Amino acid sequence: MDAENPLRGSGSGRHTLGVVENLHIDGRAGIDAGLVKRLVATQFPQWSALPVTPVEVDGWDNRTYRLGAEMSARLPTAAGYAPAVDKEHRWLPVLAPSLPVAIPAPLAKGAPGEGYLFSWSIRGWLDGETASVDRIDDLSEFAASVADFLLALQRIDATGGPPAGAHSFYRGVSPAHYDDDTRRSLALLDGRIDTTRALAVWDAALEAAWSGPPVWFHGDFASGNLLVRNGKLAAVIDFGTSGVGDPACDLVIAWTMFSGESRETFRGAVGQDPAMWARARGWALWKALITLAEDIDKDEKRAAGNRRVIDEVLADHDRAN
């Protein structure tokens, strides 16, 4: 039985600057294997004999523990992440049959208890490794399969799906929601990046309004949420920021994971109009800017990665215009 691989480093990583202002953090240190064992024992006694072990590399939004050999328990770390439990429990089974690779399979939904404040979930375990260039046989072929997944997701009937909003951290709405964060980051980075060109990219994203019907989006479509087996895409995990709206946010992977030939393969395979790509550049720029502004003097490796994304987004905007 396949089951959900835990987040081996969330694709979104930390939510930074203004994005977490309204989150009530529940103390990640309070979530441990003992708590999970107690929750399972009291709420799902049929599984109480199974071992509970921490995963090797955990995510930020949730703590994940392996439950026996075929399941995992997943607990939100803060109130802002808790709505994803009900959403994923309701919608992942609806989405799964129409997608070309596996996604997490909810098996049970737990309730608050044992001093833990939020709903939580038990999932099946999905075998695979987090996607990285060195684990992929052919990056252009991988880019095409990623595009196929996104197009399949967008084709699923969106009737009744959760409209983009707070539960998706406003992925799926206009990037204008993060205008204040973006402009604050630009001010902080003035003189350290080309803020004039960056502002042009951001303004273009805000002007390129979404006019299509709402469709399904993943919301955190990044390498950390893609699993590979035998060098190929095997599964997509973490639909916590998914919803129904504008799918431009899912195209950010064009700059965060792909480059050169693989980026062009992805661009051609996924299609989309120039306005969609303008908004996608805005989403990529927003995340890279707020993260760079926070880490530029603290984490050289992360700063270099975000500088690279910014440079490539600016260059892409210049070519498009």
Query: For 116-144, what is each residue's pLDDT tens digit?
Result: 999 999 999 999 999 999 999 999 999 99
The one-letter amino acid at 299: D
Structure tokens at 26: 């529940």
Q: Is 179 exposed, middle or buried (0-12, 13-18, 19+ CB in 10 A)?
A: middle
- Average the pLDDT over 12-39 and give the result: 58
DSSP 8: S
DSSP 116: B
* CA pair distance 226, 129, nearest whole angstrom: 8
CB 102 within 8 A of CB 1: no
Q: CA angle at residue 130 from 126 to 136, to 5 degrees? A: 110
* CA pair distance 293, 175, nearest whole angstrom: 18
pLDDT of 23 higher than 70: no
Helices (H), the chain: 33-43, 83-95, 139-155, 179-188, 195-207, 253-256, 260-270, 274-295, 300-320
Compute the radius of gyration of the chain from its Cα atoms.
19
Q: Is 269 exposed, middle or buried (0-12, 13-18, 19+ CB in 10 A)?
A: middle
Write down the pTM of the prediction. 0.90
CB 240 within 8 A of CB 84: yes
Look over the chain and give the mean of its residue pLDDT values, rounded to a whole number: 91
CB 7 within 8 A of CB 238: yes
Q: Is 32 exposed, middle or buried (0-12, 13-18, 19+ CB in 10 A)?
A: middle
DSSP 112: S
* CA pair distance 286, 175, nearest whole angstrom: 8
pLDDT score for 175:
97
Residue 254 CA neighbour count, 13 Å, CB half: 31
Dihedral sign, Cα of residue 309, residue 143, residue 95, residue 55: negative
Share of the chain above pLDDT 90, in %: 87
Query: Helix 179-188 and helix 195-207: axis angle, to 10°?
Result: 170
Among 129, 135, 150, residue whose Cα is nearest residue 253: 150
pLDDT of 7 higher than 80: no
Query: For 99-108, what is each residue's pLDDT tens digit?
Result: 999 999 999 9
Domains and CATH numbers, the chain: 17-128 (3.30.200.20), 133-320 (3.90.1200.10)
- Average the pLDDT over 20-36 and give the result: 62
- Average the pLDDT over 88-105 and give the result: 98
SS3 122: strand
pLDDT of 19 higher than 60: no
* CA pair distance 245, 165, nearest whole angstrom: 9
Cα pseudo-dihedral 247, 250, 251, 252, rounded to 10 = 130
How far from each other are the two terminal CA atoms of the chain, in whole angstroms?
Answer: 49
- Average the pLDDT over 272-286 and give the result: 97
pLDDT score for 30:
84
Cα pseudo-dihedral 268, 271, 277, 280, rounded to 10 = -100
- Average the pLDDT over 245-261 and give the result: 97
